[in-house]
Amino acid sequence: MESGTAATGNDVSEAANGAAPAGEPPIEVLNPATGQPIAKVPVDSPAAVAATVARVRANQADWEAMGIEGRYHWLGKLRDWLLDNSDRVLDTMQLETGKVRADASNEPAYLADLINFYGTKAAKFIGEESVRPHSPLMAAKKLRVQYRPHQVVGIISPWNFPLILALGDAIPALQAGAAVVIKPSEFTPLGLAEVVEAWKREIGGPDVLDCVQGTGETGGALVDAVDFIQFTGSDRTGRKVMARAAETLTPVSLELGGKDPMIVLADADIDRAANAAAWGGMMNSGQICMSVERIYVEEPAYDEFVAKLTQEVAGLRQGSDDARSPKDVGAMTSPKQTAIVEDHVNDALASGARALTGGKRVDGPGDYFEPTVLVDVDHSMKVMRDETFGPVVGVMRARDEEEALRLANDSRYGLSGSVFGEKDHAEQIARRVECGAVNVNDVLANYLASDVPMGGWKESGIGYRHGEPGIKKYCRTESVVITRFGGKREPTWYPYTRGRRGLIARLVPFFNARDLKRRLGLRG
Ligand code: NAD
């Protein structure tokens, strides 16, 4: 742990070459667009995980000592590599996720921007702070706060954005001075491994960034070995990660699921709202924690909105895409998730909902679910209550804005949301949505505004990504109290003579504001 000591030689030799324990089969990675296997990835044993963490831990102090500018220099090289090699990385990611190119292409660009953001803002966010003492009793002291990184940050990430949700957290951690070990999802281990390999071999970056491969067991071993855990995934797994971290009192930041509502007010631009709902619900096949999943439309706008949304969604082109025949909606990345989507839609249809377009799995090859618009839904149905994480939206009629707001807030999740309407009116309603980030007349836009924090309320998470909290969370604060002048002894030190005791007894009330007010004859 964070004692500054590396693991023992035994730990390292046991885990030589990161070999899997006997009987642990390698991960077989499939291309979800075709169902064909594309790679086998060896699993890292718990001992191998501990050894990797110990190795980067041993290099962390030098990395921290480089300072903010020195670390930005290296992260800048990573940014340039990502931009120069984005086609190569996107090819790998498309293969393992089944995304369409347009959905995949956001990832390197987002990361490049994030490197610049934290590289240029880190001094402001985590630079040393000078604090003026509030009490005259501290007048002889200089007060400073310095931000020291956790030594090793472990990142456990999901499959829906294999780079953004892994490197996007690694970037602020590295910029803060931590070493980082990432465990990507077992469904999408390849793209991240390619970038980490490039950091080591092509960029020649310091040995403070690595990844380990495997399923939940590997993730658990990472929780045990590191000093801070950044987890992104389902709330079910998030609970397990937090419980395991509690055993070693390791701090966690959890970015969990969502069931994001969209409110459409009667005074909205209905074309914009319908187009936004289609994109916000279907982008990345709806496999985004902040996807639009539930839509509440004020009565006067309902019919027009539903007609326009259905038309837009029905016109989306689905399938495996390439440069010659671009598509709008790609495959489902995890077969487990397709089964959940199917279950939610069937549950709704069986309870009286109607699919105005879509509504079922697409026959293979590949793993696809039709872009689906459901109406006649209510909050007794899974599709309006639990996270669907697929290309499905449920639309409900709301009597008025208060009912729309009440329904939007009727969820155990609180990740993000959106409100469409006349600008000032929509903003007023948006401020009352119970979630960590809300967009007015747009969807998903907040994720690109890395200037502002984003973190889930309720069961959507603990902690923040982006903005100042997104880098500060990787640091421990150390307050440094410096004596500017003083004699051989402070008045509070030994010996406790009657005179010294009396001095303190008089000084404390003198500087106590309540007492001053009393002596000046003021109330309160
Ligand atoms: P998941 O919870 O199944 O898995 C996430 C990661 O945890 C994977 O790497 C997995 O191998 C690992 N894991 C599984 N069991 C573990 C254990 N016991 N200990 C440690 N690690 C373990 O999630 P998923 O299916 O990969 O991703 C989809 C979920 O992620 C959705 O709920 C989605 O909303 C959420 N998500 C949240 C955000 C956010 O920022 N809030 C972003 C993207 C995805």
Residue 332 CA to ligand 1 center (angstroms) comes to 15
Residue nearest to atom 37 of ligand 1 (CA): 256
Question: What domains can you pick out in the chain, each with its CATH number?
Answer: 60-256+468-475 (3.40.605.10), 260-450 (3.40.309.10)
pLDDT band of 520, cuts 50, 70, 90: low
Q: Give the model's pLDDT for residue 223.
A: 98
Q: Give the model's pLDDT for residue 523.
A: 59
Radius of gyration over alpha carbons of the chain, in Å?
Answer: 27
Give catalytic residues, as residue numbers.
255, 289
Q: Give the model's pLDDT for residue 517.
A: 59
Prior bond of 365 cis (ω within 30°): yes
Instruction: Examine the pLDDT at 4 and tell me if it is beyond 50.
Output: no
Instruction: Examine the pLDDT at 71 and tell me if it is beyond 60.
Output: yes
Given strand 475-483, what is the order of strands in its sheet? Answer: 129-131, 141-149, 475-483
Residue 324 CA to ligand 1 center (angstroms) comes to 34
**CA 338 – CA 368 distance, rounded (Å):** 8
Q: Are 96 and 38 in contact (CB under 8 A)?
A: yes
Residue with tokens 């956790």: 150
Relative to the CA of 214, which ligand 1 atom is closest?
A: 11
Residue 234 CA to ligand 1 center (angstroms) comes to 5
Helical packing angle, 190-201 and 67-84, nearest 10° = 120
pTM: 0.93
Ligand 1 site-directed mutation target among 232, 250, 283, most atoms within 8 Å of CB: 232
Residue nearest to atom 30 of ligand 1 (CA): 233
Q: Give the model's pLDDT for residue 504.
A: 73
Residue 229 CA to ligand 1 center (angstroms) comes to 13
Instruction: Examine the pLDDT at 7 and tell me if it is beyond 50.
Output: no
Cα angle: 174, vertex 180, 182; to 5 degrees: 130
Ligand 1 site-directed mutation target among 96, 107, 156, 217, most atoms within 8 Å of CB: 156
Give the range among 117-126, 317-326, 444-453, 494-503 with minimum mean pLDDT. 494-503
pLDDT band of 522, cuts 50, 70, 90: low
Relative to the CA of 223, which ligand 1 atom is closest?
A: 20
Bridge-partner residues for 264, per DSSP? Answer: 297, 420
Give the burial class of 363: count Cβ atoms within 10 A of its Cβ; 0-12 exposed, 13-18 middle, 19 or more buried: exposed
Q: Give the model's pLDDT for residue 280.
A: 98
pLDDT tens profile 8-46? 333 333 333 344 454 579 999 999 999 999 999 999 999
Residue nearest to atom 34 of ligand 1 (CA): 257
Q: Are 267 and 422 in contact (CB under 8 A)?
A: yes
pLDDT tens profile 390-437? 999 999 999 999 999 999 999 999 999 999 999 999 999 999 999 999
Relative to the CA of 222, which ligand 1 atom is closest?
A: 20
Residue nearest to atom 26 of ligand 1 (CA): 158
Give the torsion through C-alpha atoms of 347, 348, 349, 352, to 10 deg: 120
Q: Which protein residues touch ligand 1 with a CB less than 6 Å away?
A: 156-160, 165, 183, 185-186, 215-216, 219-220, 223, 232-234, 237, 240-241, 255-258, 289, 334, 387, 389, 415, 456, 461
pLDDT tens profile 185-222? 999 999 999 999 999 999 999 999 999 999 999 999 99
Relative to the CA of 244, which ligand 1 atom is closest?
A: 19
Relative to the CA of 258, which ligand 1 atom is closest?
A: 34
